[in-house]
Amino acid sequence: MSLRIIVILAVLTGVTGSPGVTIRPEAGPADVTAHPNSGAETLEDSEIYGQQDVPEEEKAEEDVMATGELNPSHYQAQRAAKVVQHYLNTHYGSPFRLFGLHKVNSGNAEDVADSGRKYQLDISVQEIISNTTVKCSAEVFFPSGDRQRSPEVRASCEDLLKANLTAQEEALFHKYNMNQSLLSAQNLPDSYGHIEPDNKPLWHLGIVASSSVMLNESTENTLYNMAQVANITQLATENEPLKFDCHVLLHEMVSQEIVHWKLLFTWSPPEGVRVLQMEPLPH
């Protein structure tokens, strides 16, 4: 894997729902050769998919989990806040709405008996496409135990869905639905960090679908970013919604591992993005 793919990785990386509802994502089964990417040519690309370094001192401290008030810039608060980002994208993301972690304002961690650890967070979240920032309060619970379970998230955000995107989403849905040939794209972004304007909605759909994987796979010891949509293909369907097969590359920042996932998901304006299957692929 080329080192170029490390440079463009996400600070950001649907399904409808309420930010006050606890979710527990279910992983299920859901390709192609990936192409490394590097560099970002737009503000959107650089802010969403910028590199985050993991200092060596933080790696050395990972077995010492603090309780009580946290340093907002410390890895514990940042990783828990990143899970909130994936949660918001999973529930509210669309081709025209993507969320990124802007800042952790404050955080608190506590052990919950023998069941896990709970984080209380006040964060600022940026809606990347419109370049607006809102404040959120969130609770993230990481279950303990030998078997990995997905974190549970509750989040409440000011004016989260203030922009009405119905007209834009319905226009794009109609365009995709009426195409004489099925859509397909590869290497979003390419090795120079470029994405053709017509392919950006597909890139955004891949990010939203990938958020479901990153939410499902996150623990206190991970930090996932979106790296690349290696391939996305529209599948033939008789009725709504649209269906896509997708191969994505995710960057796990702590281990510096690039992981490949195959996704099958649907999208329509009323239902948002729904991941039907998710399957890890061999490296």
CB 44 within 8 A of CB 193: no
Residue 68 has pLDDT above 70, yes or no: yes
Residue 37 has pLDDT above 90, yes or no: no
Would you list the domain boundaries of the chain?
A: 5-281
Q: Which CATH class is domain 5-281?
A: alpha beta
pLDDT score of 64? 56
Report the chain's C-alpha Rg in angstroms. Answer: 18
List, for residues 118-164, the tens digit of each pLDDT value.
999 999 999 999 999 999 999 999 999 878 899 999 999 998 888 89
Amino acid at 125: V
In angstroms, rounded to a whole number, what is the distance separating the alpha carbons of residues 27 and 50? 27
pLDDT score of 271? 95
Region 219-231: what's the mean pLDDT?
Answer: 97
In angstroms, rounded to a whole number, what is the distance separating the alpha carbons of residues 231 and 248? 7
Region 223-252: what's the mean pLDDT?
Answer: 96
CB 231 within 8 A of CB 246: yes
Is 0.85 topped by the overall pTM?
Answer: no
Of residues 28 and 85, the one with the higher pLDDT is 85
pLDDT score of 11? 34
Residue 255 has pLDDT above 70, yes or no: yes
Cis peptide before 36 (omega within 30 of 0): no
Lowest-pLDDT range of 13-27, 85-99, 248-262: 13-27
Nearest to 48 by CA among 104, 10, 89: 10
pLDDT score of 53? 52
